[in-house]
Amino acid sequence: MANWFEHSIIATGRLPLFCFFVALIVTFIATRINVRLIRAKIGWFRNVNVGEMHIHHVVFGVVLMLVGGVAGLIVSGGSQTGYAVAASVFGIGSALVLDEFALILHLHDVYWEEEGRTSVDAVFIAIAITGLLLTGLRPLVWDYDLPINPAPLIAAHLAMVVVTLLKGKIWTGMVGMFVPVLLAVGAVRLARPGSPWAHWFFAGRSPRKLARAVRREERWRRPAIRAKIAFQEFLSGRHDLPSTRRSRRRT
């Protein structure tokens, strides 16, 4: 294990990225444990309040991201250890920010509502991308030793990423930046029914394709989504409060 760490992480200059990765995971788990204890009103765990104002942990995350980012810019001598410390602080801040990503997205406290699952998705995506970077993969890079201009290939790769994301296939699009073969499937297959692509090209134009997309969603994706939600709620707690955003839209 020590030899692997020395040759695969330190020798390749990936120690700062590794520290960011570990800090992100540990802080996310610790934060979710903390908020679940607060929600259950166990022990001395309470929200941070100043007067009547509740201070969300995204505020502390933004501050730590600034501290870690600036420290990484000014670290002297290019020390990998110094960069690793800065990356750790940045990772802690990133976890706190991403854990309340849904609040930033909706500009409303949806932490324990259904929309709050977006925060967990954001953290999982960040962890997956960082993990791929740690393996040595790089996004949108063509480094094969072939006598061709890589610019058109990289542009086509990026175009397929955009199409895949517009089709509502977030995981395929994000991982496909590192593994292009996934995009060859994601970009040509049917879009998800609630995606921008389906809204632009299926609704009112191709009801048969929309019906196929809905059937495929119900048959294949819904079971996978339920399994994903079960795993997420095992880690992060249940997002079971009624949606206040929906109730506000009805009124």
pLDDT tens sequence across 189-234? 899 988 999 988 887 778 888 888 888 888 888 888 889 889 888 8
Residues 226-250 have a mean pLDDT of: 79
Cα–Cα distance measured from residue 87 to residue 68, given in angstroms and rounded to the nearest whole number? 6
Closest CA to 167 of 199, 139, 140, 124: 199
Q: Which two tokens mark 181?
A: 């073969």
Percent of the chain with pLDDT over 90: 43
End-to-end CA distance of the chain: 59
Local structure of 202: helix, strand or coil: coil
Indicate if the alpha-carbon torsion angle 22, 27, 30, 33 is positive or negative.
Answer: negative
Angle between helices 80-98 and 117-134 (to 10 degrees): 160
The yes-or-no verdict on residue 157 having pLDDT over 70 is: yes
pTM (two decimals)? 0.85
Residue type, 213: A
Cα–Cα distance measured from residue 162 to residue 121, given in angstroms and rounded to the nearest whole number? 19
Angle between helices 80-98 and 57-74 (to 10 degrees): 160
The yes-or-no verdict on residue 121 having pLDDT over 90 is: yes
pLDDT at 70: 94
Placement of tokens 């795993």 in the chain: 231
Q: What's the chain's average pLDDT? A: 87
Strands, E assignment, the chain: 49-50, 53-54
Give the list of residues 6+ apart from residue 190 with CB closer than 8 angstroms, or none. 167, 209, 212, 213, 216
pLDDT at 69: 94
